[in-house]
Chains A and B, each alone.
Chain A
């Protein structure tokens, strides 16, 4: 099956710093999502971005599908950005849906 690698596995920042998280995947995909899992376990959808660039406030993401990677940018980080960031990818399957394969995540800690 498809392999998803995220880097770095751990990241510690001071509040206000910028960071870039990377997701590499081993095969062509039609779907890619970035999620943030807060310390209580809730997974929040950040971006659905199978290709191109999107921005939402201090967060932005870029996927280069032909080169099989995606980047998540966090600018001016805040303590509330702490948690684990997951990349999930997958092809379309029968029925018009897809079953994402998740990477192991990047654990981010932002210190005040």
Chain B
């Protein structure tokens, strides 16, 4: 069974640009979660999607947005990139009625 896959692995952008990160959940998982992990810090919850809808978002500005597609894959968009957006972005999936999170390998975003 394929795990959670994220792309790209690394992404380098210039301040002010937009970044798009992608996540494919485990087959059968309907919930996708996005987390930001800045260097040396813990994981901060960004967004939760389930059945194509945004269910919850963390304490992040509106320039962090995303969507979930009918096949349950998801993308995270970060507009007007700032230097402090440099971080590892992790995606996780779970069954809608399940509790166990499975994480992807992450996308390391660097803003220069």
Contact = CB atoms under 8 A, between A and B. Distances in A.
Contacts of A42: 103, 105-106
A105 B50 CA distance: 27
In the complex, which of the residues A30, A40, A41 has the most CB atoms of chain B within 10 Å of its own CB atom? A41
A98 to B, nearest CB: 6
Contacts of B5: none
Q: How large is the interface on A (under 10, 10 to 19, 20 to 34, 35 or more residues)?
A: 20 to 34
Q: How large is the interface on B (under 10, 10 to 19, 20 to 34, 35 or more residues)?
A: 20 to 34
Contacts of A50: 99
B33 A41 contact: no
B28 to A, nearest CB: 14
Contacts of B56: 93, 99
B88 interface: yes
Given A33-B100, A98-B99, A99-B33, A41 B50 contact: no
B43 A102 contact: yes
A43 B91 CA distance: 10
Contact of B101 (A30, A40, A95, A100): A100
Nearest to A100: B101
A80 interface: no
B23 to A, nearest CB: 13
A88 B94 CA distance: 14
B94 A35 contact: no
Nearest to B35: A102
Nearest to B58: A99
B8 interface: no
B105 A48 contact: no
Contacts of A93: 55-56
Which 4 pairs from chain A and chain B are nearest by CB? A43-B103, A96-B97, A102-B43, A104-B42
Interface of A: 30-31, 33, 35, 40-45, 48, 50, 86, 88, 93-105
14 contacts: A40-B105, A42-B106, A43-B92, A43-B103, A44-B103, A45-B103, A88-B43, A93-B56, A97-B31, A97-B94, A97-B97, A97-B98, A98-B99, A99-B33
Given A41-B105, A97-B96, 13 more contacts: A30-B99, A33-B99, A33-B100, A43-B90, A45-B102, A50-B99, A88-B43, A88-B101, A97-B31, A99-B45, A99-B48, A99-B56, A103-B42
